[in-house]
Amino acid sequence: MKIFLVISLFISINGFDLSSRAEKKLEKTLVKHFTGKSFSRFEIDFPSNRANDIWDENILLYRLKSSRDTLGYVTVSRAKGRYDYFDFMIIYSLCMEVELVQVLVYRSEHGGEIAARRWLNQFKSSSASRELSYGKDVEAISGATLSGASITDAINSLNMLMAELRKEGIL
């Protein structure tokens, strides 16, 4: 089966540019996650009533569609480590549960352990129904405390926002 992926260039809409390195990793992760399925990625613009939300600067949102159906949603966001920001993505199911979290670009010298698949798997199936606590629900990592807490908070915020967008009929 041939895989077809519409590649959209990330344009800075609200101040958030995605590097070509992050774009390539995003594409590769999507193709791997949806192995054997043809899909396209469509950017979703945020409603004007959300002008002051965290979406302004830090989030891109995409709908993933096969020829007929929506397969899920992808958010690309940024969180802060001790000194530098890092980019990550979340693939959401149609019921707004996390299917996959992937760090796309980690820029700091310390704390890169948060990019480990085993550690990121802790977020699988999370949703707005239950907020996760770093160090309690999510395993703390020595040397990556700030990055770990930051991505946990960001995922909690994204989960809440995705649930709100679904409830409002936007997704």
Q: Using H for helix, E for strand and C for coil, what is the string for the chain?
A: CCCCECCCCCCCCCCCCCCHHHHHHHHHHHHHHCCCCCEEEEECCCCHHHCCCCHHHHEEEEEEECCCCEEEEEEEEEEECCCCEEEEEEEECCCCCEEEEEEEEECCCCCHHHHCHHHHHHHCCCCCCCCCCECCCECCCCCCHHHHHHHHHHHHHHHHHHHHHHHCCCC
146 lies in some domain: yes
75 lies in some domain: yes
Q: Average pLDDT of each block of 10 consecutive residues along the chain (171 residues)?
A: 39 56 92 89 75 62 90 93 91 96 91 92 94 94 91 94 89 86
What pLDDT, on a 0 to 100 scale, did the predictor assign at position 83?
86
What pLDDT, on a 0 to 100 scale, did the predictor assign at position 4?
41
Q: What is the pTM of this model?
A: 0.85
What pLDDT, on a 0 to 100 scale, did the predictor assign at position 8?
37
Host domain of residue 63: 20-167
What pLDDT, on a 0 to 100 scale, did the predictor assign at position 5?
42
How many domains does the chain contain in total? 1
What pLDDT, on a 0 to 100 scale, did the predictor assign at position 76?
94
156 lies in some domain: yes
10 lies in some domain: no
Q: Which residues contact 109 (CB under 8 A, 6 or more apart)?
A: none
3 lies in some domain: no
**Rounded distance between C-alpha atoms, residue 54 and residue 71, angstroms:** 25
